[in-house]
Structure 1
C-alpha cells in the first residue's frame, strides 16, 4: 500500500459516505466525489439547491445560525454512517470546525476554527500573512491610510465572498467617497499591478501540502473563475505549498496571488475550501476527492507536488435542472413528458 501511495495511486476501499454542507450549486464537487467512489449526501436549507438532486441522498437542514444546525448534521452523520464532512462555503466552515467532536466519527475537512476565522476576515488574514513572512499588498483600516499610499487603492469588504463591495479609488477624493459609500466594514488595500493567479492546494491532517496546482485567471465573474488554464510553474507550485503549510490548511484551499513586475508574489486571499474553479484542477489530475476519501479512511498519502497536467483549459457555462413532484420534488424524467 505504501508503494501505491508514494506513486500517487490510491488503493480501492469500501465505499465512504460523505456529507456536503451548504451544498447549493456545487454540483461539480458532489458529482466528482461520487465518481471517486463515495456515497454522497447533500444538505442545504433551500429545497431548490441543485446539488441536492445530484447526490445519492439529500437532506434539508436548518440555517447555519440556527441553534439546531449542528445537531441536524450530527443526526445525518449517524443515519448514513458518514465518514467525511465537507463544508462547501464559508458560511458554516468555522462552525463545523468548532463542533467537529459532535460530528465524530466523521472527519470534518476544515482547518482549526481560528484559521477559518482569520481567513474569513481579510484584514486579519493580511496581518497573519505579514506575521508569517508571506508577502501581501499594503493594507490598512480606513482611518490608517498613510500619505504615501500608492494609488489606485481598493476599498474591500473585510468579511464576504463573491467580490462584492469592492471599489477602486484612483485618488484621495474617490477613496473618501467610497469609504462613505460602502455599507459594510471595510479595509483599504493597494492594487496589485501584475498578473493574477489561483493555486488550488490540498493538505493532509498534519498540514503537509500534498499538491498545488496553479492556474491562470482568464476571466472571472462575481469573484468566481469562469475561464482559466492550468500552467506548469514551479515557483507558483512551491509558493502555494509554502503558504498553505504556513497557514495550517487541512484539506482544500485556494490561494490567490499576483506576480508583480518586481517578481514578488503577494497573496491577496486564501479560501480554506474547494474553490469556485474546482473543475479545472480536477481535470488536470488533482485527484483531490480521492485524497479526501483516503484521509477519511485513516490513510496518509504522500505529497506529489507538481503531479498534474498543464495546459488544461476550463470554460464554464450555465446549466439547469427541472423538477416535478407533489410535495417531494425530483428531477424530470422522460416519463414525465
Structure 2
C-alpha cells in the first residue's frame, strides 16, 4: 500500500481546506498526500496540492475514465468535491460515486434523491416539510394564484432563483411587489435543461423571522444517516452570497433538524445548511448545500476539525471526539489573498 492519499476535487479558491487536511495528516502522525484535481490548470488551488491532476470538465465523457485512472494510479481513500455541479454528476448523472466506493474510496454526500432536492429549492422545501423540518412555504414564480394567497398572509416575500446558488436572484420585497420581482429574477434564472417557463425557475417564500445562522451537519462516513456532529455560527456579514463574518454559537437549537435531515438524506460527511433561529418559532431551514460550504472556516478556527475526522474514518484510525468541539463566541472574518498559478511565454 502506498502513502496515505486523499483527493480534493474542484477546490477552486478554498486553499484553506487543502491546508487543513495537511494539518490533519500531521496531527495524526501520517505522512499523507493531498491530491487536487481541477479542469482549470491556473485556478488558485490547481497547483497548491501535494499532487496536481488536471481532469476534463465533469460534463466531458473523458472525465469518468480519467478519474477512475487516477484512482487506480494513486489509490486514494477519500474523494471530497466542493463543487455542486461535479457532485451532481458523481451522485446523480452517473454512478461514479458508487464506482469510487467499490474501489475503496469514501465519497461523502447525500442520497441521489437528496442531491437533486438540494439543487431544486422547490423540491427541497417539499422534502423538508415531509420529514417534519420547519421551512418556509414555497411556491413557483409562475403560480400567480398561490403568490396572491401568500401576499394576503405576509407583508414581505423572498424571491430567488429556484436552481441558483448563494444569493442568486435574491430579492426581498413587499408582498404586493412579488409579481414584478419574479419577472425580474426570471430574466437571469439559470437554465436547467428542463422544459420550464422562466417564471417557474424562480420561487417565492414569505420572509422568515429570526437571525440567520450557518450550520454544518456531519454524518458518519461509513454509517449513512448517523449524525456525528452539529457545528453552528451566527452570520454577522455577507458578501457575494457567502458568509464574510460570523460568530460561533451553541449548536443545541439546531440539533433536531440536523438529526432529521441526516437520517432522511442518508448523510455521510458534511452538509452546509442555512437556518433562521427565532425565539418563538425555533429553527427554520432555508437552504442546504451538500458539501463543505463557505461557512465551515468559522467553526474550524474555533476548534472543530472535520478534516481530521474524515481522515480517521478513511484510514481506520481510533480517535476521540475532540474534533467536534469548538469554542462559542469566536468572531472570524474572511480576507483576500492571491498567488501565482502559472507562467506563459
TM range (shorter): 0.7 to 0.9
Unaligned segments of structure 1, at least 5 residues: 1-13, 328-337
Aligned to 1:30: 18
Q: SS in structure 2 opposite 1:254?
A: strand
- Change in Cα spacing, 1:129 to 1:315, as seen in structure 2 (3 Å) is same
Q: Does the alignment pair 1:155 with 2:173?
A: no
- TM-score (normalised: structure 2): 0.84
Q: Is the Cα contact below 8 Å between 1:96 and 1:108 reproduced in 2?
A: no
Written as runs of structure 1 = structure 2, the 5 A alignment for 1:1-337 is 15-37=3-25, 38-97=32-91, 98-103=95-100, 104-142=103-141, 143=143, 144-147=146-149, 148-172=152-176, 174-181=177-184, 182-183=186-187, 184=189, 185-204=201-220, 205-206=222-223, 207-298=225-316, 307-325=325-343
Q: What is the CA deviation profile of residues 181-204 of structure 1, one whole-angstrom value per residue up to 9, with x for unaligned ones?
A: 222211111111211111112111
Unaligned segments of structure 2, at least 5 residues: 26-31, 190-200
Q: Is the Cα contact below 8 Å between 1:208 and 1:303 reproduced in 2?
A: no
- Change in Cα spacing, 1:302 to 1:250, as seen in structure 2 (3 Å) is farther
Shift of 1:33: 0.7
Shift of 1:15: 4.9
What CA distance in whole angstroms lies between the structure 2 residues aligned with 1:236 and 1:306?
A: 15
Shift of 1:232: 2.4
What CA distance in whole angstroms lies between the structure 2 residues aligned with 1:34 and 1:170?
A: 48
Q: Is the Cα contact below 8 Å between 1:209 and 1:303 reproduced in 2?
A: no
Shift of 1:129: 0.4
Q: Is the Cα contact below 8 Å between 2:303 and 2:323 reproduced in 1?
A: no
Shift of 1:177: 1.2
What CA distance in whole angstroms lies between the structure 2 residues aligned with 1:27 and 1:134?
A: 34
Shift of 1:309: 1.6
- TM-score (normalised: structure 1): 0.86
Shift of 1:297: 2.4
Shift of 1:322: 1.8
What CA distance in whole angstroms lies between the structure 2 residues aligned with 1:236 and 1:105?
A: 33
Q: Is the Cα contact below 8 Å between 2:133 and 2:285 reproduced in 1?
A: yes
Shift of 1:298: 4.5
RMSD between superposed Cα atoms in Å: 2.2
What CA distance in whole angstroms lies between the structure 2 residues aligned with 1:180 and 1:238?
A: 37
What CA distance in whole angstroms lies between the structure 2 residues aligned with 1:287 and 1:261?
A: 29
Q: Is the Cα contact below 8 Å between 1:257 and 1:269 reproduced in 2?
A: yes
